[in-house]
Amino acid sequence: MIAQAILDPIIDRALAEDLGGGDLTSELTVDADTRARAVAVARTDLIACGGFVFARVFERIDPSVRVVLHEAEGTRVESGRELWSVQGAARSLLAGERTALNFAQRMSGVATHARAYVDALPRGSSTIVTDTRKTTPGLRVLERYAVRTGGAHSHRDNLGSAVLIKDNHIVAAGDIRKAVERARKGAPHTSRIEVEVENLDELDVALEAKADIILLDNFALDELREAVRRASGRALLEASGGITLESIAKVAATGVQVISVGALTHSAPAADIALDLDLIS
Amino acid sequence: MIAQAILDPIIDRALAEDLGGGDLTSELTVDADTRARAVAVARTDLIACGGFVFARVFERIDPSVRVVLHEAEGTRVESGRELWSVQGAARSLLAGERTALNFAQRMSGVATHARAYVDALPRGSSTIVTDTRKTTPGLRVLERYAVRTGGAHSHRDNLGSAVLIKDNHIVAAGDIRKAVERARKGAPHTSRIEVEVENLDELDVALEAKADIILLDNFALDELREAVRRASGRALLEASGGITLESIAKVAATGVQVISVGALTHSAPAADIALDLDLIS
Amino acid sequence: MIAQAILDPIIDRALAEDLGGGDLTSELTVDADTRARAVAVARTDLIACGGFVFARVFERIDPSVRVVLHEAEGTRVESGRELWSVQGAARSLLAGERTALNFAQRMSGVATHARAYVDALPRGSSTIVTDTRKTTPGLRVLERYAVRTGGAHSHRDNLGSAVLIKDNHIVAAGDIRKAVERARKGAPHTSRIEVEVENLDELDVALEAKADIILLDNFALDELREAVRRASGRALLEASGGITLESIAKVAATGVQVISVGALTHSAPAADIALDLDLIS
Amino acid sequence: MIAQAILDPIIDRALAEDLGGGDLTSELTVDADTRARAVAVARTDLIACGGFVFARVFERIDPSVRVVLHEAEGTRVESGRELWSVQGAARSLLAGERTALNFAQRMSGVATHARAYVDALPRGSSTIVTDTRKTTPGLRVLERYAVRTGGAHSHRDNLGSAVLIKDNHIVAAGDIRKAVERARKGAPHTSRIEVEVENLDELDVALEAKADIILLDNFALDELREAVRRASGRALLEASGGITLESIAKVAATGVQVISVGALTHSAPAADIALDLDLIS
Amino acid sequence: MIAQAILDPIIDRALAEDLGGGDLTSELTVDADTRARAVAVARTDLIACGGFVFARVFERIDPSVRVVLHEAEGTRVESGRELWSVQGAARSLLAGERTALNFAQRMSGVATHARAYVDALPRGSSTIVTDTRKTTPGLRVLERYAVRTGGAHSHRDNLGSAVLIKDNHIVAAGDIRKAVERARKGAPHTSRIEVEVENLDELDVALEAKADIILLDNFALDELREAVRRASGRALLEASGGITLESIAKVAATGVQVISVGALTHSAPAADIALDLDLIS
Amino acid sequence: MIAQAILDPIIDRALAEDLGGGDLTSELTVDADTRARAVAVARTDLIACGGFVFARVFERIDPSVRVVLHEAEGTRVESGRELWSVQGAARSLLAGERTALNFAQRMSGVATHARAYVDALPRGSSTIVTDTRKTTPGLRVLERYAVRTGGAHSHRDNLGSAVLIKDNHIVAAGDIRKAVERARKGAPHTSRIEVEVENLDELDVALEAKADIILLDNFALDELREAVRRASGRALLEASGGITLESIAKVAATGVQVISVGALTHSAPAADIALDLDLIS
């Protein structure tokens, strides 16, 4: 899912944080030849996400462990179900427990949060929900993956992927129209040109400048409806700013094509997952 | 506060994620010689945390920027106040905006969350609130710092810092008493020996084994009170497991010395901080 | 131009290759307190590119050197002109000479090559020339920058930036139409959908599938003209495949909007730049 | 051939550039369980080089792929022949295609270029052709390997491997004789002492100073002949400076023992290699 | 024993130092298909330590080698005995020989040195011997492991693991009592509070301040005895400062509970281990 | 002396080991605005080495510190003298103390050890003393520098720098003569060809094969004298194997040109250096 060359440095850094000085407790209290099986169990209903990261954490501690992924990525799992299990030296399982869960709880938390937003859309809506660049530093590739695993969409990956002219760019550029035109002229032809607007007047300017996508920042519902009317298909409209599980259905009903939600990644609560260990005789 | 040698790799990785392919939008829409000042502004009441990280993000993009930290770390700041400002090439400020805010929002979020827990303790309580190892992979040093900035305490740093015998260790070791004794025999003498217990019977075993600290996992309030009575100072008692802003005062009132709260780091909502940019003529 | 956090690891790795075991010759033959000035001089006509990399190489050896950039990035410079100069301990200049030149010769070489392609377009042509992902492993950000410095455009940065369905994707997906539709449904809304076609029949399929951009792979000139006629503005057309300085004008004259040229980066000859050193008394 | 510990960081950085944000196209258009075989095919006559790098690129994406190297390193391969093949999940093959080819095209390009120089030597000549330190930053170990695979020789690896006193060292040291003597006195005894000279007078000085190797920079053919006569075996002579495929035979015929050619690495055109993918049922 | 994610970067850096430019000698003198078996043999009596590092060095060069560990970690091995063996391509064994031995000689050297200190304690003594933070930069995790393998104990891992107030802290804090109190108030509850004292008067202050551990720096034997008398169990006493194999028994006999010895790591002589290679037909 | 790009990663890794979890003690016991000056003082007679590393450790913690190097590298310093001093925030000095000293004690230890060997040579001897590749993994560049600072010489840097055919190579190659010839044919012309021999018969073979350098492994004094006689200048002779401060003068008197001593780096005792801290008012 994510190339091992991309995943390994992320995992290795996390293990360095926790295991750089060894694992005092396991080495002192558990014999080297004690073998065990540990199962990750959902403690709430959740969307399973991050099984391959869970697996790789233990493999990067001890390549001789064996992992089984019982639930596929993106599956809705009820509280109490086994997600993934790992078998091997008890010390290796204990050493990786917290790091593996820290990843899995975050990834499943984001996927579950994303699914909740998607499920809150009106039935049959063609509006898509996307993440933003408000991701945890160092974990963007995992969090964007979790967003998609939850059923939402990814926005652009980073500052080099596509053009999005935000409020501060407009301040620095001096003018929406000029900014859009300069961007169109120089941007990779693979990138659409998106511009953020604060009100309907700016929307008109952006439409005239032929922006491909217009981000409507903190528009009220009636403003969103008017924006949809004015754009009438000439540009994709993206609503953003404080949209919640409670408000998303109404926002989608205005007809905007995209709703971006920073909270998908910056404020998703961790999913509750426990690791239950049993000895193998 | 945090050594530059420790901080730089964390920041550089975050910038690599976002800026590895350059910043299309700023390069296309803003002139290279446009200069600006950008101010980080609190959008909610919060505990300021991460100013030095905010500063270093911009310096690692462009060493010629100048940063001013208006609010000291740990200060309670009201919504609308200026936290920190940075001045330099507009392109450099725009390139760093999102990464700087991602760090600052997370760190201030954790600090604010920690402060809330500390403030929820009964007035005059000597109970301390601590974090756990449920930190974001790759950001532990920043999150533990944020916890302390918020007024809470740090638990052990990692698996090599101190001994904490948890439920799964006991399964693998076979026996609380044996685990405690083996740990005491081999652990660094600088480390206290902590053991997790599930009920009052196990507490008695742990007390007999002369554990220095006993972690009471998911004890009800009356069990906590009974535990305090039984321990009567022979061991530090740490309560843990699902303790919330609502319940913490009652837990503290039982007399436990330590309350550890995973949510301080794994589920702190991001603090809302905006970056307002103005041109400098 | 390129964030220091992005640039430093690239430079440090290059220095590790060359200086990891020290610089025997300079340490043995030059006194530590000998000071000098070294000037990078163009030995052929070229487009100046990479001055800031040249500077940073010496700074990463010895922060006390001082660099002056005489020629701005993208300037057309005649053979014999001074590009950039650096002053400091002679040992530091000698230690960095080869690495600094290796970067500068490659970057100026790519910029010069790109400029040649752009200059070969018919006067007044609106066709743009772009690079491809055929960049030197580890140096993509520098080479894409050099392409733009030379006056050409960047194609998508990487596999996560935008969708480009190539011949092998179509084999694996089974069908152009299905591939385009699946891509449109799931891609970030900031990305246009581009598909590669091998002939005019596939072009028709791609147009019907409403691809935003169609890459015409190795089309003959009359096929390109026919493709432009059939597309008639419904999709951007990108010509690619073995286009040379000799053929580019004719390709552009067919009316395609984009010409992508792998040779911009994979086969640009190094620009000839020498470093002349003089002692400072 | 090259230790995995040396190779992996080079490959991982290249994959980070291209795959750091995932592979949008493959994930969107190809099913996870589609399996395929991809074959690297020579599109021109070339010297096969880099098969083990090609293999490792795919393994670092997905350890479950299987690679077969049909042509041994250094083999002369005709256009149309299969070089190497890889089998596994189609998504993994598509994700690695460009990076694997970027390495292989560069390495085979350098090997092919080196072979052309070696083949251009007079039949039976004992003169050797070597590379220089004008290698691509970050890829030196691969390019030097490719030079040797093509049949040419490696010059010193880096500034810490051996002593080569160049023009700028002489400026800084003040004097050829002094520089050679200081070098001989302090250099590792495993290193010969080489010095660059600009004309026959300097050659005489270098011979008197008992340099082991004398680099004749940009000497005309008759000067080279005279240099060989004067040296008469007292020092190895190395000719350098703008030597081409056209001129190398004449240079070798002068009797110099070594010809070093920066163009082997800094200006080798990429070899043309394609990747053809077929589904496996 | 040590997680692979922790071990690999240490090994890879060591290999980069020695193999970054390839292995000239093996490539030139040994055929690629020559296979061999190499055995690490003790050349003095020693405590075996680092077998898994020895193994991993060769695997990081060439994953196809096979290693057998004949002697378990911590075993006392007589001169002449085989410790570990590795089998595979002769070139791979030769390329790894020096690096593998450099690690193994250092680790076995530290373990052997530690065992000597432990063996020098009076029979039946409950005093423990510990290392300090005077470890080789970059190798702490290996050296602390070697200390424990030799039968001694680890002191705190690093500055974030536990509190140790040393002489310079007291200068900066102004006062032993204040320093201890501030530390107790803020330190993780898992950490004991240790303070260094220079004489018996300071010891009294430290005891009154209720330090958990008191480091007696360079105390004479009679001072140590008096310290034990005064502490009478109220604090753990740690003796440190120039304690040798000759003096350790007398120091232990004073009744201190802990003796810390920097020389365990900073001045352990390398154990003499050779690698004997034989061809496999 | 050593390029910052080479030095910084070594220092940063050492600081990560010790400071990755912060510095509990300094943060708890010392106020943030306390300023101090710390002086490194020799506690034994030593050769000063590593002042620039000492400086850089503190700068990488806190760029605002100021360092003064009182004693030049390579100076013989008497016990009690101030070597280097650093001034700044007391917390920053305390955080760096141990790491800075660990480097400085090791580097000065190696330099002092090397000087002792050089001083033990007969007066006026032209024999040089060199290190070997038996360096501490990860610190080779620092230790080789320290060897030279002490007045000894560096042997080849690594496996890619020069050819040294050792006993195990000969086993694998089958034959001294063949190994030497193959090496000469393929080695960089900058490298001399060295071969290890075990006895006088092998010496004769090596001389006939025209090896440039012959390493005499564990030869008795009379064998060394005979070797010198037989070689009579046709090859450089290097004695190695267990040569001590006691025996080196006699070995040198046999007339060998080079004596290599692994103990220079693998068994140099750490130099005793203390850091004395005083407050600045």
Q: Least CA distance to A9: which residue of chain E? A: E5
Task: Tell me the pLDDT tens digit for each residue of B16-58.
Answer: 999 999 999 999 999 999 999 999 999 999 999 999 999 999 9
Do C171 and C111 lie in a common domain?
no
Test A17 with F17 for CB contact under 8 angstroms: no
Could you tell me which residues are beta bridge partners of residue F89? F35
Asked if the structure places residue D181 within a domain, the reply is yes
CA distance F143 to F145: 5
Do D272 and D256 lie in a common domain?
no
Q: What is the mean pLDDT of residues D52-69?
A: 98
Task: Tell me the pLDDT tens digit for each residue of E1-31.
Answer: 799 999 999 999 999 999 999 999 999 999 9
CA distance D241 to D217: 6
Three-state DSSP at C214 gives strand
Test B172 with A36 for CB contact under 8 angstroms: yes
Strands of E258-260's sheet, edge to edge? E128-130, E258-260, E236-240, E213-217, E193-197, E163-165
Q: Least CA distance to A17: which residue of chain F? A: F20
Test C61 with F161 for CB contact under 8 angstroms: no
Task: Tell me the pLDDT tens digit for each residue of F238-253.
Answer: 999 999 999 999 999 9
Could you tell me which residues are beta bridge partners of residue C165? C195
DSSP string, E247-275: THHHHHHTT-SEEE-THHHHSPPPP-EEE
Asked if the structure places residue E126 within a domain, the reply is no
What was the ipTM of the complex prediction?
Answer: 0.96
Chain F adjacent subunits, 3+ CB pairs under 8 A: A, B, C, D, E
pLDDT of amino acid B1: 76
In angstroms, what separates the C-alpha of E31 from chain D's closest C-alpha? 12
Asked if the structure places residue F148 within a domain, the reply is no
Three-state DSSP at B7 gives helix
pLDDT of amino acid C1: 76
Asked if the structure places residue E127 within a domain, the reply is no
In angstroms, what separates the C-alpha of F57 from chain B's closest C-alpha? 9
Asked if the structure places residue F129 within a domain, the reply is no
Test D172 with C13 for CB contact under 8 angstroms: no
Q: Which of E270, E209, E231, E277 is nearest to E36 (CA)?
A: E277
pLDDT of E232 > 90? The answer is yes
Q: Which two tokens stand for residue C33?
A: 């307190």
pLDDT of amino acid A1: 76
Q: What is the dihedral of CA C210, C214, C218, C223, to 10 degrees?
A: 60
Asked whether B221 and B251 are in contact (CB, 8 A), the reply is yes
**Location of structure tokens 């480091």:** E215
pLDDT of amino acid B135: 97
Q: Which amino acid is at B203?
A: L
Do D110 and D159 lie in a common domain?
no
CA distance A115 to F219: 76
Do A10 and A114 lie in a common domain?
yes
Alpha-carbon distances of B61 from B22, E278, F249, rounded to whole Å = 11, 55, 57
Asked whether C238 and C194 are in contact (CB, 8 A), the reply is yes
Asked if the structure places residue F133 within a domain, the reply is no
pLDDT of amino acid F1: 76
Q: Which two tokens stand for residue C240?
A: 């690619």
Asked whether D169 and F238 are in contact (CB, 8 A), the reply is no
Q: Which of B4, B97, B102, B104 is nearest to B47 (CA)?
A: B104
Asked if the structure places residue A64 within a domain, the reply is yes
DSSP string, A43-108: SS-EE---HHHHHHHHHHH-TT-EEEE-S-TT-EE-TT-EEEEEEEEHHHHHHHHHHHHHHHHHHH
Test A156 with C157 for CB contact under 8 angstroms: no
Alpha-carbon distances of B218 from B72, B122, B196, E238, rounded to whole Å = 37, 20, 10, 38
CA distance F79 to E222: 27
Strands D273-279 and D76-77: unpaired
pLDDT of amino acid E55: 98
Q: What is the mean pLDDT of residues D168-196?
A: 96
Do E54 and E157 lie in a common domain?
no
Task: Tell me the pLDDT tens digit for each residue of B157-190.
Answer: 999 999 999 999 999 999 999 999 999 999 999 9
Do D90 and D160 lie in a common domain?
no
Backbone angles phi, psi at B93, to 5 degrees: -65, -40
How far is Cα of residue D174 from the mean position of the Cα atoms in its chain? 33
Burial class (CB in 10 A: 0-12, 13-18, 19+), A125: middle
CA distance C3 to B95: 9
Percent of chain A with pLDDT over 90: 98
Q: What is the mean pLDDT of residues C251-270?
A: 96
Helix B221-231 / helix B200-208 crossing angle, nearest 10 deg: 20
Do E275 and E225 lie in a common domain?
no
Residue A172 is part of which domain span? 153-260
pLDDT of amino acid D32: 95
pLDDT of D15 > 80? The answer is yes
Test F20 with B5 for CB contact under 8 angstroms: no
Three-state DSSP at B279 gives strand
Chain E adjacent subunits, 3+ CB pairs under 8 A: A, B, C, D, F
Least CB–CB distance from E5: residue in A21, A22, A60: A60
D94 Cβ neighbours under 8 A, 6+ residues apart: C168, C169, C172, D23, D25, D26, D30, D277
Give the confidence band of E182 by pLDDT, cuts at 50, 70, 90: very high
Three-state DSSP at B53 gives helix
CA distance C61 to C96: 7
Q: Which of B92, B33, B8 is nearest to B58 (CA)?
A: B92
Q: What CATH code is carried by the domain that includes residue D183?
A: 3.20.20.70
Asked whether A124 and A130 are in contact (CB, 8 A), the reply is no
Helix E4-19 / helix A51-61 crossing angle, nearest 10 deg: 60
The domain total for chain A is 2
CA distance A127 to A254: 10
Asked whether A264 and A111 are in contact (CB, 8 A), the reply is no
CA distance F137 to F6: 15
Strands B193-197 and B163-165: parallel
Q: Which of D155, D105, D147, D224 is nearest to C98 (CA)?
A: D155
Alpha-carbon distances of E262 from E134, E135, E136, E268, F38, rounded to whole Å = 6, 8, 11, 10, 21
CA distance E180 to E240: 19
Percent of chain F with pLDDT over 90: 98
Asked whether B188 and B212 are in contact (CB, 8 A), the reply is no
CA distance C245 to C120: 6
Do B226 and B274 lie in a common domain?
no
Asked if the structure places residue B197 within a domain, the reply is yes
E221 Cβ neighbours under 8 A, 6+ residues apart: E250, E251, E254
**Location of structure tokens 């998609």:** A148
Helix residue spans in A120-277 (DSSP H):
140-149, 167-173, 176-186, 200-208, 221-231, 248-253, 263-266
Do F170 and F252 lie in a common domain?
yes
Task: Tell me the pLDDT tens digit for each residue of F190-211.
Answer: 999 999 999 999 999 999 999 9
Q: What CATH code is carried by the domain that includes residue D37?
A: 3.90.1170.20
pLDDT of amino acid D218: 97
Task: Tell me the pLDDT tens digit for each residue of A184-233.
Answer: 999 999 999 999 999 999 999 999 999 999 999 999 999 999 999 999 99
Do B159 and B234 lie in a common domain?
yes
Q: Which of F262, F266, F260 is nearest to F130 (CA)?
A: F260
Do A275 and A251 lie in a common domain?
no
Query: Is A98 a catalytic site residue?
Result: yes
What is the count of residue pairs from C and E with beta carbons less than 8 Å apart?
Answer: 6
Give the confidence band of D1 by pLDDT, cuts at 50, 70, 90: confident
CA distance D55 to D100: 8
Least CB–CB distance from E158: residue in A21, A63, A95: A21
DSSP for residue C189: T
Do A255 and A273 lie in a common domain?
no
Test B190 with E153 for CB contact under 8 angstroms: no
Q: Least CA distance to A24: which residue of chain B? A: B160
Give the mutation candidate from C189, C215, C238 for the A interface (greatest A CB count, under 10 A). C189
The DSSP H or E segment spanning F19 is helix F4-19
Give the confidence band of E281 by pLDDT, cuts at 50, 70, 90: confident
**Location of structure tokens 């399973």:** A48
What is the count of residue pairs from B and C with beta carbons less than 8 Å apart?
Answer: 36
Helix F4-19 / helix B4-19 crossing angle, nearest 10 deg: 110
Q: Which of D235, D245, D186, D234 is nearest to D213 (CA)?
A: D235
Quick one: three-class SS letters along B182-199? HHHHHCCCCECEEEEECC
Give the mutation candidate from E31, E62, E65, E103 for the D interface (greatest D CB count, under 10 A). E62
CA distance B83 to B46: 10
pLDDT of amino acid E1: 76
DSSP string, F111-177: HHHHHHHHHTSPTT---EEE--S-PPTT-HHHHHHHHHHTT-B----STTTSEEE-HHHHHHHS-HH
- The tally of CA atoms less than 13 A away on the side-chain side of residue B20 is 30
Burial class (CB in 10 A: 0-12, 13-18, 19+), A241: middle
Give the residue numbers in F contacting C (CB under 8 Å), as ranges: 2-6, 8-9, 140-141, 144-145, 157-158, 161
Question: Which residues of chain F does A16 touch, with a Cβ-Cβ cutoff of 8 Å?
Answer: 16, 20
What is the b/e burial string over E116-140, where b = at least 16 CB atoms within 10 angstroms of the residue's CB? bbbebbeeebebbbbbbbbbbbbbb
